[in-house]
């Protein structure tokens, strides 16, 4: 593993422990040359899942895009990053557990909305207004009324 400080390719593992319910291994390493320590994470490589966009384009599934959407929707809301990371992990598990090689962006959007509905109603409405492309106040009110009725 390449040292991030001196870029030497030789390091030794000092400590190793499972994280994230055993699907990721955290390794503490020490560079042989400079002696500095750094952390690496080992994760099972999954087969790529393609996201089918509305216009038919396909691109690789990227959970970072989900996280950035959640962060925008939850801006200035009382939600910890840990809860958002857990939501992203849950969505990622759903996507990979579906055993499909392709998934529509609409399906992922619905998964995100479901998680946001559980986490924070204001963030949910923010995300829904962009995702569902509310064109006027009536469609916005329809979504709010659905939210109130489900409560």
- Mean pLDDT computed over 45-73: 91
CA–CA gap between residue 112 and residue 61 (Å, rounded) = 14
Residue 69: its pLDDT value, please?
92
Residue 11: its pLDDT value, please?
95
Q: What's the chain's average pLDDT? A: 89
Residue 149: its pLDDT value, please?
78
> What's the distance, CA 105 to chain centroid?
14
CA–CA gap between residue 64 and residue 81 (Å, rounded) = 13
pLDDT band for 20, please (50, 70, 90 cuts): low
Residue 79: its pLDDT value, please?
92
Question: Who has greater pLDDT, 13 or 143?
Answer: 13
**From its phi and psi, is residue 126 left (phi > 0), alpha (psi between -120 and 50) or beta?**
alpha
Backbone angles phi, psi at 6, to 5 degrees: -115, -5
Q: Please say whether the beta carbons of 20 and 33 come within 8 A.
A: no
């Amino acid at each position: 593993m390449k040292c991030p400080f001196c870029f030497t390719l030789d390091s030794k593992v000092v400590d190793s422990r499972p994280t994230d319910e055993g699907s990721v291994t955290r390794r503490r390493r020490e560079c042989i040359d400079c002696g500095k320590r750094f952390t690496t994470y080992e994760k099972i490589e999954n087969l790529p899942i393609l996201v089918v966009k509305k216009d038919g384009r396909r691109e690789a599934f990227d959970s970072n895009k989900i996280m950035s959407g959640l962060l925008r929707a939850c801006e200035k809301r009382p939600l910890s990053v840990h809860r958002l990371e857990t939501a992203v992990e849950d969505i990622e598990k759903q996507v990979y557990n579906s055993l499909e090689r392709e998934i529509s962006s609409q399906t992922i959007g619905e998964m995100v909305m479901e998680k946001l509905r559980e986490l924070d109603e204001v963030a949910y409405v923010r995300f829904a207004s962009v995702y569902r492309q509310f064109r006027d106040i009536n469609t916005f009110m329809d979504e709010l009324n659905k939210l109130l009725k489900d409560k």
